[in-house]
Copies of this chain bind each other. A is one copy, B any other.
Amino acid sequence: MAILPPGVDAGRFAAAIRRFEEIVGPEWVFTSDEDLHPYRDHFSYLKDQPNEPIPSAAVGPDRVEQVQDIVRAANEFRIPLYAISTGKNFAYGGPAPNVRGSVTVDLKRMNRVLEVDDKRHFALVEPGVSYIDLYDYIQERGLKVWIDTPDPGWGSPVGNALDHGIGYTLGFYRDHFGAHCGMEVVLPNGELMRTGMGAMPSAKTWQEYRHGYGPDPAGLFAQGNFGIVTKMGFRLMPQPEHWRNGLITVPKRRDLIPLIETVNYMTDLFMIGEPWYGSPLRQLMGNTEFREAAGRFDEEEMDRQAAAARLHSWQVELQFYGSERTTLANWEYAKELVARAVPQARFTDGESLPVPLTKEQIHETTGPYPTNMRRNVTQGVPGLGIWYMTGRSEMNPNAWDETHVGLFSAVPRSGEGVLEAQQVFARIARDLEIPSFNNALGTPVNWYQFTFLMGAGFGIPRDYTPEGKKRAADILRRILEENAKHGYGDYRAPPILQDDVADQYSFNDHVLRRFHETLKNAIDPNGVVSPGRGGIWPAAYSSFRGALRG
Q: Are A414 and B215 in contact (CB under 8 A)?
A: no
1/0 contact string of A190-205 vs chain B (CB within 8 Å): 0111110111111111
1/0 contact string of A171-199 vs chain B (CB within 8 Å): 01000011001000001000111110111
Contact of A490 among B120, B194, B213 (CB under 8 A): B213
Can you give 30 A-B contacts (C-beta < 8 A)? A119-B414, A120-B414, A178-B210, A191-B508, A199-B506, A200-B484, A200-B487, A200-B505, A201-B487, A202-B485, A204-B411, A205-B410, A205-B451, A205-B487, A205-B489, A208-B412, A209-B491, A211-B491, A213-B223, A213-B491, A213-B493, A215-B221, A215-B222, A215-B534, A216-B220, A217-B220, A235-B450, A326-B326, A326-B329, A328-B329
Q: Which residues A477-503 have CB closer than 8 A to chain B?
A: 484-493, 501-502
Other A-B contacts than A235-B268, A322-B330, 18 sampled, CB-CB below 8 A, are: A120-B264, A178-B178, A181-B450, A187-B511, A192-B508, A198-B507, A200-B506, A211-B491, A213-B223, A213-B493, A213-B534, A214-B516, A215-B224, A215-B536, A216-B219, A326-B330, A328-B329, A329-B329
What residues of chain B lie closer than 8 Å to A519, measured between beta carbons? 217, 519, 522-523
Residue A325 interfacial (CB < 8 Å):
yes
Interface size on A, residues (CB 8 A): 106
Residue A521 interfacial (CB < 8 Å):
yes
Contact of A326 among B220, B333, B411, B512 (CB under 8 A): B333
Q: Are A222 and B213 in contact (CB under 8 A)?
A: no
Residue A246 interfacial (CB < 8 Å):
no
Q: Are A269 and B321 in contact (CB under 8 A)?
A: yes
Q: Known interface pairs A205-B410, A535-B214. Does A121 touch B325 (Cβ–Cβ under 8 Å)?
A: no
1/0 contact string of A269-301 vs chain B (CB within 8 Å): 111000000000000000000000000000000
Q: Are B202 and A487 in contact (CB under 8 A)?
A: yes
Q: Which residues of A are in contact with B by a Cβ distance under 8 Å?
A: 119-122, 164, 170, 172, 177-178, 181, 187, 191-195, 197-205, 208-224, 226, 235-238, 240, 261, 264-265, 268-271, 321-323, 325-326, 328-330, 332-333, 336, 410-414, 417, 448, 450-452, 484-493, 501-502, 504-508, 511-513, 515-516, 518-519, 521-523, 534-536
What residues of chain B lie closer than 8 Å to A210, measured between beta carbons? 178, 450
Q: How many copies does the complex hold?
A: 2
What residues of chain B lie closer than 8 Å to A235, measured between beta carbons? 268, 450
Q: Nearest Cβ in chain B — how far from A351, in angstroms?
A: 19
CA distance A217 to B269 in the complex (A): 28
Contact of A413 among B120, B214, B271 (CB under 8 A): B120
CA distance A384 to B334 in the complex (A): 36
Q: Are A261 and B413 in contact (CB under 8 A)?
A: no
CA distance A8 to B156 in the complex (A): 54
Nearest residue (CB) in B for A170 is B270
Q: Are B325 and A194 in contact (CB under 8 A)?
A: no
Q: Are A450 and B209 in contact (CB under 8 A)?
A: yes
Q: Are A119 and B264 in contact (CB under 8 A)?
A: yes
CA distance A520 to B322 in the complex (A): 46
Q: Known interface pairs A120-B413, A203-B410. Does A502 touch B213 (Cβ–Cβ under 8 Å)?
A: yes
CA distance A212 to B177 in the complex (A): 12
What residues of chain B lie closer than 8 Å to A222, measured between beta carbons? 211, 215-216
CA distance A321 to B330 in the complex (A): 11
CA distance A136 to B261 in the complex (A): 23
